[in-house]
C-alpha cells in the first residue's frame, strides 16, 4: 500500500510485536522477581534481584523499580505481550462482528466498504450507547482501574495501576508503560485511518 498512514501505523505495531517476542533477549529478567532491598529505585540505578532459586543477581534497573523491587523495564517489555494479545483479540472479535453487522445492515455487496466499516468497529470499542474509545485505550483503562487480568500478570494497565499511588514521588512507574500504551493507541488510530481511506475511497472523499 502507498498510504503512509498504513506504513507508519503498521511499522509501529510490528516494532511492538518484535519487542514482545524478543523480550527475553533484551536484557530483561523474570518480571515477577523482586528484591526488598531494591524497592523504588530511580531509572538507571543498580540493585539486586533474587531468583526463584534464591540466588542474588546484580541488575541495572533501566526504567527503575516498583514498590516491590521488581524491574519496571522487564515488566513493561513482557507486558507488551499480554497487552497486545488482549488488544488484538478484542479487535479481531470486533472486526468479525463488524463485518457481519455492516453487511446485514446495509445489504452492501461492496466488500471494501464492508471491511472499512468493520475496521472502525474494531478500532473503536463501545463504552456506552453513543461513545467509542480506541480498543487499546479500553484495555489499558480496564487494567488501570483493576478490572481485567490479575495484578501479578504484567500488563501496562496493571503496572500503571500499581504505580499511581506513588506517582508524585516515583512517576517512572506510570510514565514508561504509559508511553508504550500511547504509542500503541496512536499507531492503531493512524493504521485504522489509513486502511479506511485505502479500502473505502468514498469515505475518504466525504471526510
Q: What does the domain layout of the chain look like in residue ranges?
A: 4-206
Q: 44, 62 in Cβ contact below 8 A?
A: yes
The residue that leads in pLDDT, 115 or 13, is 13
Q: What is the pLDDT of residues 146-186, one digit of tens each?
A: 455 666 788 888 899 889 889 999 999 999 999 998 898 88
Pairing assessment for the beta strands 132-134 and 56-61 based on DSSP bridges: unpaired
**DSSP class of 127:** S
Q: What pLDDT does residue 157 have?
A: 85
Pick 70 or 130 by higher pLDDT: 70
User: What is residue 116's predicted lDDT score, i.e. its pLDDT?
Assistant: 53
Q: How far, in Å, CA of 37 to CA of 174, rounded?
A: 21
The Cα 71–Cα 172 span in angstroms is 11
Query: Residue 100 and residue 135: Cα distance in Å, rounded?
Result: 19
pLDDT band for position 73 (cuts 50, 70, 90): very high
Residues forming a β-bridge with 59: 47
> Quick one: cell of 3?
498510504
For residues 91 and 123, the model is more confident at 91
Indicate the length of the chain as a whole number: 207
**pLDDT grade for 101, boundaries at 50, 70 and 90:** low
pLDDT value at 16 more than 60: yes
Distance CA 173, CA 154 (A): 12
Q: Among 112, 139, 134, which residue's Cα sits nearest to residue 123?
A: 134
111/94 Cα distance (integer angstroms) = 17
Mean pLDDT of 86-97: 68
Q: What confidence score (pLDDT) does residue 197 get?
A: 75
- Contact between 10 and 186 under an 8 Å Cβ cutoff? The reply is no
Query: Residue 129: its pLDDT value, please?
Result: 39
Whether the per-residue pLDDT at 128 is higher than 50: the answer is no
Amino acid at each position: 500500500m502507498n498510504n503512509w498512514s498504513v506504513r507508519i501505523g503498521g511499522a509501529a505495531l510490528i516494532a511492538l510485536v518484535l519487542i514482545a517476542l524478543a523480550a527475553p533477549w533484551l536484557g530483561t529478567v523474570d518480571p515477577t522477581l523482586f528484591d526488598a532491598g531494591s524497592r523504588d529505585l530511580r531509572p538507571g540505578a543498580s540493585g539486586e534481584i533474587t531468583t526463584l532459586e534464591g540466588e542474588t543477581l546484580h541488575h541495572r534497573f533501566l526504567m527503575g523499580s516498583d514498590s516491590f523491587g521488581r524491574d519496571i523495564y522487564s515488566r513493561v517489555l513482557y507486558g507488551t505481550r499480554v497487552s497486545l494479545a488482549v488488544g488484538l483479540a478484542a479487535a479481531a472479535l470486533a472486526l468479525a462482528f463488524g463485518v457481519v453487522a455492516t453487511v446485514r445492515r446495509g445489504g452492501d455487496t461492496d466488500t471494501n466498504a464492508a471491511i472499512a466499516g468493520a475496521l472502525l468497529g474494531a478500532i473503536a470499542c463501545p463504552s456506552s450507547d453513543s461513545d467509542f474509545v480506541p480498543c487499546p485505550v479500553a484495555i489499558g483503562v480496564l487494567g488501570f482501574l483493576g478490572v481485567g487480568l490479575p495484578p501479578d500478570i504484567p500488563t501496562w494497565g496493571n503496572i500503571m495501576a500499581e504505580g499511581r499511588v506513588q506517582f508524585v514521588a516515583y512517576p517512572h512507574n506510570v510514565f514508561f508503560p504509559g508511553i508504550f500504551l500511547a504509542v500503541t493507541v496512536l499507531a492503531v488510530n493512524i493504521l485504522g485511518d489509513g486502511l479506511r481511506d485505502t479500502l473505502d475511497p468514498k469515505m475518504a472523499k466525504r471526510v
